[in-house]
């Protein structure tokens, strides 16, 4: 059954959701890594919930340099059934007529440097490669490229 322009936020049903996953990580003096994978299953009313996700975060800390600058590379993979949601859980983009579940893959690179006890700097690059779901529901979509820079003063 397909619904065109259905706003899922307006639906109410009993929900049962379970997430199974595992994580392997190390936060050593120089080598840093964090690998995670998870599978989510359950029910929303009569509908099945099925989703999976994973992430890989690998970095290196230059422990012998002043401020121990760190570089990291990250890649994330997520799938799901009900569209794309905002951090607060509200629906941002409904599933429309798409049968696809692959939203996309984000490749993230960050650099951090603790300049002094009170001053830190973080910079990041992210490339988001759209998947079949985005290709289906957004006409003339584009992959995304993002840059961030943050100077933080703590007192």
The reported pLDDT for the residue numbered 58 is: 95
Domain ranges of the chain: 30-153
Strands 47-61 and 70-79 turn out to be antiparallel
For 54, the token pair is 């994973």
Q: pLDDT at position 6, please?
A: 43
* pLDDT class of 81 with cuts at 50, 70, 90: low
Looking at residue 91, its pLDDT comes to 67
Q: Is the pLDDT of residue 8 over 50?
A: no
Q: What is the pTM of this model?
A: 0.64
Find the Cα–Cα–Cα–Cα dihedral 77, 35, 71, 120, rounded to 10°. 90
**Residue 124 pLDDT greater than 90, yes or no:** yes
Q: How confident is the model at residue 88 (pLDDT cuts 50, 70, 90)?
A: low
Strand residues in 45-118 grouped as ranges (E): 47-61, 70-79, 84-85, 91-93, 102-114
- How far apart, in whole angstroms, are the C-alpha atoms of residue 96 and residue 103? 13
Distance CA 5, CA 86 (A): 18
Query: Residue 4's pLDDT is what?
Result: 45
Angstrom distance (rounded) from CA 141 to CA 131: 10
């Amino acid at each position: 059954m397909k619904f065109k322009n259905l706003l899922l936020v307006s639906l109410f049903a009993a929900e049962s959701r379970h997430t199974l996953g595992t994580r392997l990580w190390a936060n050593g003096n120089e080598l840093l890594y964090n690998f995670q994978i998870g599978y989510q299953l359950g029910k929303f009313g009569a509908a099945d919930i099925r989703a999976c996700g994973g992430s890989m975060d690998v970095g290196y800390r230059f422990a012998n340099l002043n401020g121990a600058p760190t570089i990291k590379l990250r890649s994330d993979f997520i799938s799901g059934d009900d569209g794309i949601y905002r951090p607060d859980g509200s629906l941002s983009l409904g599933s429309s007529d798409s049968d696809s579940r692959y939203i996309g893959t984000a490749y993230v690179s960050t650099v951090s440097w603790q300049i002094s006890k009170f001053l830190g700097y973080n910079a990041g690059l992210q490339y988001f490669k759209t998947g079949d779901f985005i290709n289906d529901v957004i006409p003339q979509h584009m992959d995304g490229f993002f840059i961030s820079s943050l100077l933080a003063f703590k007192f």
